[in-house]
A = this chain, B = another copy of it.
Amino acid sequence: MAKFLSLADAVAQMVHDGDTLAMEGFTHLIPFAAGHEIIRQKRRDLTLIRMTPDLIYDQMIGMGCAKKLVFSWGGNPGVGSTHRIRDAVENGWPCALAIEEHSHAAMANAYEAGAANLPFAMLRGYIGVDLPKVNDRIKSITCPYTGEKLATVPAIRPDVGIIHALRADREGNVLLEGITGCQKEVVLASKRTIVTVEEIVDNLGTTSPNSVVLPSWTIGAVVCVPGGAHPSYAHGYYKRDNSFYIAWDKLSRDRDGFLAWMDENVMKKGPDAFAVHAKGSAA
């Protein structure tokens, strides 16, 4: 059964230096508050896994948490570059960052295989492209029936998986709704898991028998952090703060400006700082 913990305790107990860590959320429900807590607790040498390592990993990598990044699209969506990731990859600042690069299809399949307890995933992919030449994790198998060759990638089985969800009930069952990305897969594929939520309620209020619900016993820790997905969004709670994504391009462009912003907005703050973005708060 999931434990209800503070964000500081959950990160302290679940996330260790050197872990492989997947924080998912495909634009929607990105666990920013948890990322900030990991930065504050100064985790180091993490292998960060994420299909779209946008602002959340830009911040964590810029603050020196990671030694490696596994990803399939690294940018600020619709805006441009993630400058801190580029600075790490191109210049090794603040520390060297190894990369393992995939396509979206391969990573989505690799999470799926992790959740299904398979050692690898296969796909009709990587045909005629250069990525397999620079990523030796991409291999192939031959269909025992048709002789066709299919690409393979290893299943993703992170030490820790962290997602943000809409709400939990008092037993720790968790509801996701809207763009659910790979979040169910991350929770089921990971050894340890943290789920931050907008609120804890008596009744999940599922509207469909097929609602996306993660039972309490699949989750390590549930943490209530209203607004914890900002500047991404929470379906039915608050909208994506697109203006922040646009503003980040400037905020993150040079090292000093970035560090100043992080000091002011992350290091000197706690999870409560996210509440201002939550539903019903004064904007």
> Residues of A at under 8 Å CB distance from B?
117-120, 122-124, 139-141, 143-146, 148, 150, 152, 154, 177-178, 180, 206-212, 235
A207 to B207 CA separation, bound complex (whole angstroms): 6
The CB with the most chain B CB atoms within 10 A, among A178, A208, A212, A235, is that of A208
Contact, CB under 8 Å: B122 / A209? no
Q: A209-B178, A210-B177 are in contact. Are A144 and B140 (CB under 8 A)?
A: yes
CA distance A260 to B77 in the complex (A): 66
**A14 nearest CB across to chain B (Å):** 26
**Cβ B144 vs Cβ A120 within 8 A:** yes
Q: Knowing A208-B208, A208-B210, say if A146 contacts B122 (CB, 8 Å).
A: no
Besides A118-B150, A145-B152, A207-B208, 12 other CB < 8 A contacts?
A: A118-B124, A119-B143, A119-B150, A120-B144, A120-B145, A140-B144, A144-B152, A177-B208, A178-B209, A180-B210, A207-B207, A210-B210
Instruction: Chain B residues near A139: list those with CB within 8 A.
Output: 144-145
Given contacts A119-B145, A139-B145, A144-B139, contact A177 B209 (CB under 8 A): yes
Give the distance in Å from the alpha carbon of A211 to the alpha carbon of B206 in the complex: 11
30 contacts between A and B (CB under 8 A): A117-B124, A118-B122, A118-B123, A118-B124, A118-B150, A119-B143, A119-B145, A119-B150, A120-B143, A120-B144, A120-B146, A122-B122, A139-B144, A141-B141, A141-B144, A144-B152, A145-B152, A145-B154, A177-B208, A177-B209, A177-B210, A178-B209, A178-B210, A180-B210, A206-B208, A208-B208, A208-B211, A210-B210, A210-B211, A210-B212
Q: Kindly report how many copies of this chain are found in the complex they form together.
A: 2
**Distance A16 CA – B209 CA, assembled complex (angstroms):** 36
A148 proximity list for chain B (CB < 8 A): 119
Query: From residue A116, how far is it (CB to closest CB) to chain B in Å?
Result: 9
Instruction: Tell me the minimal C-beta distance from A108 to chain B in angstroms.
Output: 11
Cα(A177)–Cα(B207), bound, Å: 11
Q: How far is A120 from B140 in the complex, measured between Cα atoms in Å?
A: 14
- Residues of B within 8 Å of A144, CB to CB, are 120, 139-141, 152
Q: How far is the CA of A179 from the CA of B154 in the complex (A)?
A: 31
Q: Is the CB of A235 within 8 A of B209?
A: yes
Contact A146 B119 (CB under 8 A): yes
